[in-house]
């Protein structure tokens, strides 16, 4: 077992974390969250989604947020662009990376974007080509990589197929996403192995939701495979609008606490990270959904 000596964390809180919030979160609050995350040492932040505001009203201020960020050298800012219209709107704001996503579940793909898996990936081909022509990095996510709310278990063959198709259209990095949080360590390892048939270990990441409390275990299982990149969300923000009952992404604070305890470098200041999570949680009127943050905030108060 060779554990990585350092781990890269992409905080998806400003985008994936906030997109399902019912109440509007003003652009100024989103910008402040990005600033706090980068001040805590995050070097990869998923900022916004360039999608139709009809589908995701929370992201209607994407241009304002991207324009308002005080960019810090060494930090990469990514945005989700599901189609050419989204890419054309996003490219004006100079994102360092764009993200496209395809489900490993046929039923999820049909219900979510009204087309088959293969059709969904073909739609991304011009987006990936345009991004690479503009020297913008292209990251892909395989959603529902271990389970789907409509069809249950998802086969590793499906995951491998999506990885192969994404590679074929020029996607440079792929994230294996347990969108509804049903995965357990061995299932997640098998899904990751399927992606690794088409991508190098340096070009894969894990994206785990904590619905059943398995996200840290799933992260550890992938660390043991040598996977060193993960999507997390400050204060455990998030969910999935198309997956009933799915809770947020694994909390960045919990992952950082675990990694620090294992002697794995992240470059992140845990205290400042907790402050960032508390800032957004206070705005949303609830406690951070992070065990480490709760424990350390209680310790501070004590």
- Could you list the active site residues? 240
Structure tokens at 235: 């204060």
Considering only CA atoms, which of 232, 243, 239, 240 is closest in space to residue 293? 232
How far, in Å, are 24, 208, 209 from residue 238 at the CA level? 14, 11, 9
Query: 215 near 208, Cβ under 8 Å?
Result: yes
Query: 182 near 146, Cβ under 8 Å?
Result: yes
Distance between CA atoms of 60 and 50, rounded to whole angstroms? 8
Distance between CA atoms of 37 and 225, rounded to whole angstroms? 28
Distance between CA atoms of 254 and 293, rounded to whole angstroms? 7
DSSP state string for 126-178? HHHHHHHHTT-EEEEEEETSSEETTTEE--HHHHHHHHHHHHHTT--EEEEEE
Query: 203 near 166, Cβ under 8 Å?
Result: no
Neighbours of 126 (CB within 10 A): 13
How far, in Å, are 106, 183, 229, 279 from residue 199 at the CA level? 22, 21, 13, 37
């Amino acid at each position: 077992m060779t554990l990585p000596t350092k781990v890269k964390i992409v905080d998806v809180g400003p985008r994936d974390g906030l997109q399902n919030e019912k109440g509007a979160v003003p652009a100024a609050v989103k910008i402040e969250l990005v600033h706090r995350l980068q001040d805590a040492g995050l070097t990869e932040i998923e900022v916004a989604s360039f999608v139709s505001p009809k589908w995701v009203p929370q992201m209607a201020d994407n241009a304002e947020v991207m324009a308002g960020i005080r960019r810090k050298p060494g930090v990469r800012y990514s945005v989700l662009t599901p189609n050419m219209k989204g890419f054309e709107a996003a490219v004006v704001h100079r994102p360092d990376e764009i993200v496209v996503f395809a489900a490993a579940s046929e039923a999820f793909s049909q219900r979510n974007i009204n087309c088959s898996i293969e059709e969904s990936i073909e739609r991304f081909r011009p987006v990936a080509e345009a991004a690479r022509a503009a020297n913008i990095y292209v990251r892909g996510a395989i959603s529902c990589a271990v389970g789907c709310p409509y069809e249950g278990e998802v086969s590793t063959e499906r995951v491998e197929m999506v990885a192969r198709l994404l590679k074929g259209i020029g996607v440079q990095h792929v994230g294996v996403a347990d969108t509804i949080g049903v995965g357990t360590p061995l299932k997640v390892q098998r899904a990751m192995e399927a992606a690794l048939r088409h991508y190098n270990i340096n070009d894969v990441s894990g994206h785990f939701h904590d619905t059943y409390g398995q996200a840290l275990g799933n992260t550890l299982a992938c660390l043991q495979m040598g996977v060193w990149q993960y999507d997390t969300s400050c204060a455990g923000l998030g969910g999935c609008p198309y997956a009933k009952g799915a809770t947020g992404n694994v909390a960045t604070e919990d992952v950082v606490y675990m990694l620090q305890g294992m002697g794995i470098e992240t470059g992140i200041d845990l205290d400042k990270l907790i402050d960032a999570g508390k800032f957004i949680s206070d705005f949303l009127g609830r406690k951070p959904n992070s065990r480490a943050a709760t424990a350390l905030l209680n310790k501070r108060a004590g």
